[in-house]
Structure 1
Amino acid sequence: MAKNKKRAPDPLRFLVLARTPSGHYPHPVEVALYPDGADSITAFSIGPHVVNAGGLVRLSILIDETRGELNPSFNMEFDAAELHWLVPFLVRLQAGEDVKDEIVAAYRDLHGAAPETMEIARPRNWTS
């Protein structure tokens, strides 16, 4: 009798919006975004690959909703990655807008090509 295996949920497709070269801390920095309105998720990877730290951060932590700006705790990473152009889009995502196409267009204007994408497994017990 075959057991019914629970199928893993589909992975989330993130836009890779920053990937810096090596250098002094916090380099290298990689920042990716799963754009899903107020439920958007940002992925961070900071430091040399052998000892990097990283994780997934909810948009509600990244953007201070009362002030409509980047949480100062993330300034170093956004400075290192030259990513402050993204903040107005994150504020709009938090308001529930669908700005994925605008983010891709802005990235293309800055870098001459669309951002890479990467799949990340949906976190366990992640509600949204």
Structure 2
Amino acid sequence: MSDATAESGEADAPGDRDGLLAALDRRVAAFRADDRRRRIALVVALVAGVGVAWLHWLGLVFAGALVGLTRRSLPRALAAGVAVGVIVLATFVLLSPAMGAGELLALGQPAYVAVGSALALPLLGSLTRGVV
């Protein structure tokens, strides 16, 4: 009889997980449907992501993921990821005390890496929306 109890306990576990995932999916869908909450979350995600990106380059992926999760569809999440990259790049150029945009581009390969990573890494992070 203990075998039957163990089997029924194992059978219930996947159903419980499906119920939890379904409930989470409903909550996320309701969140994305509310424009006001979604816009507030977008601003908070942008500020938090840029703050983390200021500390470490992996923050660019984190920023893209946070912003992408607030969007309703994958194409919009990808566009938001590119927008985050542009904002981070503009912030970097504007707050750089030593050089302007022209001087940054004159550096050559290091500038290409900076611009490429500023645009590509948030885009990579925003692909999280395709999973969730």
TM-score by length of 2: 0.28
* Greater Cα radius of gyration, structure 1 or 2: 2
| Structure (1/2) with the larger strand percentage | 1
